Amino acid sequence: MDMEVTAWTSLHSAINAQTDRRPFSAATLRRIAAFAKPHRRGLAGFLLLSVVAALLAVATPVLAARVVDAIVDGGESATVVRLALLIAVVAVAEAALGLVTRKLSATLGEGLILDLRTAVFDHVQRMPVAFFTRTRTGALVSRLNNDVIGAQRAFSNTISGVVGNAVTLVLTLVVMLGISWQITLLALLLLPVFVLPARRMGARMARMQREAAQLNAAMGTQMTERFSAPGATLVKLFGRPADESAEFAARAARVRDIGIRTAMAQSLFITALTLVSALALALVYGLGGYYALRGTLDAGSVVALALLLTRLYAPLTSLAGARVEVMSALVSFERVFEILDLKPLIEERPDARRVPPGPVSVEFDAVSFGYPAPDKVSLASLEEVATLDSRGGTQVLHDVSFRAEPGRMIALVGSSGAGKSTIAQLLPRLYDADAGAVRLNGIDVRDLTADSIRETLGMVTQDGHLFHESVRANLLLARPDATEDDIWEALRRARLDGLVAALPDGLDTVVGERGYRLSGGERQRLTIARLLLARQRVVILDEATAHLDATSEAAVQEALAEALDGRTAIVIAHRLSTVLAADRILVVEGGRIVEQGTHQQLLAVGGRYEELYRTQFEESDADEALPQGA
């Protein structure tokens, strides 16, 4: 290891020293040990090889000293050759050991990343919808990437570094003190000159790195929001492209300036420390040479001291920052554990049952519900705020009761914000009721398995969300074992087979982010095809035609007729014309069912439903009366 590498090591440790200095947490260490337990054999082998590597690192200078002494003393050529061969063997062993250690390091590190990422991903999937409505996606993804990798470094770098550097330092000091304690002590006196500039420069560079990271995060957020289809549309309609470009360019320019300053600071630092290292070597050669000429030190010992000196500074500076590196890794672990410590609000009971076969009834029995408070479902760090919003927990549904018999359609109508979608979200257990019970075939959904609920109940929402994958992949999400014929039959019933057949790659055509390569009506019909493919016995339609034009709505309504045939249905509709044939219409206002009955019964009552109906159809009649082109 030459002095420039040693200088880089010192700088790296100094920069890390500016990270968060929290006290050790015994609970965190126990949890880390639990994650490390499956890898304990590999970790033990890794640490053992690190010790052997440290021993080999000290062996080379000692052998080099014996070669020099043999040459100076006029020894036999065979001795020099044997020593040279031994040095070569040590070098080969070091190289081979380095490859094996690197493989073990990669295996341990990547294995830990896999375990942590899988644990976090699985846990996040169990979180309630409220978690996703509050959390910034980028902040959550960062936990799965940056913090998981930061935690992984504790195993692949920090632990082996501490062990290897400690062994190397002890052996090097023992050998150097054995050769010449005077020269060794003088060399150690130069250590503050080596380390103190690193600390000062490290603080400065750490500040620049934090600023650069913040600016890069801001640029990433701007790009993510502006490059999505809705964001790009918004900028084109209401934004100022020139201002957007100027704002982005200003941030990018600041990152450029920081990059230049960082490069110059690094260059200055490395040059200065390389100079200090050269002075230290000069001291060894000068004082060692003086002792050698006086006959108190062998020439080989001078060479050994010089070689060992290059192996002394790096372990010292690394160990000086080892505690900080460990603390940095602990911070990463704690940030990952923060996610794992968020308790899912929806838990499946150990004795959960499956939904019985056959037609399914739906029942709400005196259900009351309030959305959970932020501190129950989120973290301030994930929302990127100083403190969580204290609002929440207010009841939005009050004593809601109704029953949908198998194969019947129940329609929910009412003002925006009345609680209709909230009712729909309780049925598939996106949330659990605070009071009362939601039942499928007379069984509380809290007593049913999540898989059987998903197999029984399907939902189509107004946004018709699709993944940035192929038509086939989006459909198979509902039923992975579906055959090609099943897929085309679902598309035919959704009135979408002709369109898909005409696409460039047919079923393998990628639909784009959120399905934006398709029209609104096409997206909705594709989600309906997904529902038909799943063959679920209960269907929830949440404003499925709310944002469609008349032509698209007519096509979607035809597809919905296929989807609802023979199924129990809960339909939420803003347009009353779509629910006139419902077996029962429930009028929801303020989280309560204020009226219920058939369309004719509710009109006869002359209450809130009649008011909604009259308002909508008067507006419709007025639109039809407008002159063409108005």
Residue extents of the structural domains in the chain: 3-341, 407-429+446-625
Model confidence at 42: pLDDT above 60: yes
Which has more confidence, 374 or 13? Answer: 374
Pairing mode of beta strands 435-440, 443-444: antiparallel
Query: Alpha-carbon distance 255 to 369, whole Å?
Result: 48
Tens digit of pLDDT for each residue in 261-303?
877 877 776 676 677 777 777 888 888 888 888 888 888 888 8
* pLDDT for the residue 551: 64
* pLDDT for the residue 628: 44
In this structure, the dihedral spanned by the alpha carbons of residues 225, 229, 233 and 235, taken in order and rounded to 10 degrees, is 20
Q: Which residue has the tokens 């050769």?
A: 179
Q: Give residue 213's pLDDT band: very low, low, confident or very high (50, 70, 90).
A: low
Interval 497-519 mean pLDDT: 84
Query: Alpha-carbon distance 152 to 112, whole Å?
Result: 6
Which has more confidence, 173 or 228? Answer: 173
Residues in the chain: 630
Q: Which of 372-376, 485-489, 555-559 has the highest mean predicted lDDT (pLDDT)?
A: 485-489
**DSSP reduced 3-state for 132:** helix
Check: CB of residue 168 under 8 Å from CB of residue 311: yes
Helix 313-320 with 191-227: angle, nearest 10 deg: 60
Interval 56-67 mean pLDDT: 82
Q: Give residue 363's pLDDT band: very low, low, confident or very high (50, 70, 90).
A: very high
Of 17-26, 27-36, 165-174, 287-296, give the lowest mean pLDDT range. 17-26
Query: Alpha-carbon distance 595 to 609, whole Å?
Result: 8
Model confidence at 1: pLDDT above 50: no
State percent of the chain over pLDDT 90. 11
Q: Return the CATH fold of 3-341.
A: ABC transporter transmembrane region fold (1.20.1560)
Of 82-91, 272-281, 312-321, 563-572, give the lowest mean pLDDT range. 312-321
Of 38-47, 318-327, 431-440, give the lowest mean pLDDT range. 318-327
Interval 450-457 mean pLDDT: 88
* pLDDT for the residue 209: 67
* pLDDT for the residue 364: 94
State percent of the chain over pLDDT 70. 79
Mean pLDDT, rounded, of the chain: 79
* pLDDT for the residue 385: 64
Check: CB of residue 312 under 8 Å from CB of residue 187: yes
Q: First vs last Cα of the chain: how many Å apart?
A: 82
Interval 509-515 mean pLDDT: 81
* pLDDT for the residue 193: 66
Q: Give residue 20's pLDDT band: very low, low, confident or very high (50, 70, 90).
A: very low
Question: pTM to 2 decimals?
Answer: 0.67
Closest CA to 496 of 468, 467, 519: 519
Model confidence at 452: pLDDT above 80: yes
* pLDDT for the residue 626: 38
Query: Alpha-carbon distance 398 to 208, whole Å?
Result: 54
Q: Give residue 553's pLDDT band: very low, low, confident or very high (50, 70, 90).
A: low
Interval 586-596 mean pLDDT: 92
Query: Alpha-carbon distance 443 to 351, whole Å?
Result: 13
Interval 330-349 mean pLDDT: 82
Q: Give residue 201's pLDDT band: very low, low, confident or very high (50, 70, 90).
A: low
Of 195-199, 216-220, 469-473, 538-542, give the lowest mean pLDDT range. 195-199
Q: Give residue 622's pLDDT band: very low, low, confident or very high (50, 70, 90).
A: very low
Query: Alpha-carbon distance 299 to 111, whole Å?
Result: 49
Check: CB of residue 334 under 8 Å from CB of residue 24: no
Q: How many helices (H) and strands (E) does the chain have?
A: 26, 10
Please, which residues bridge with residue 368 across strands?
A: 435
Model confidence at 621: pLDDT above 60: no
* pLDDT for the residue 401: 94
Interval 558-578 mean pLDDT: 78
Domains 3-341 and 407-429+446-625 alike in fold: no
CATH of domain 407-429+446-625: 3.40.50.300
Q: Give residue 391's pLDDT band: very low, low, confident or very high (50, 70, 90).
A: low
Interval 231-259 mean pLDDT: 78
* pLDDT for the residue 80: 83
CA 72, 75, 81, 86 torsion: positive or negative?
negative
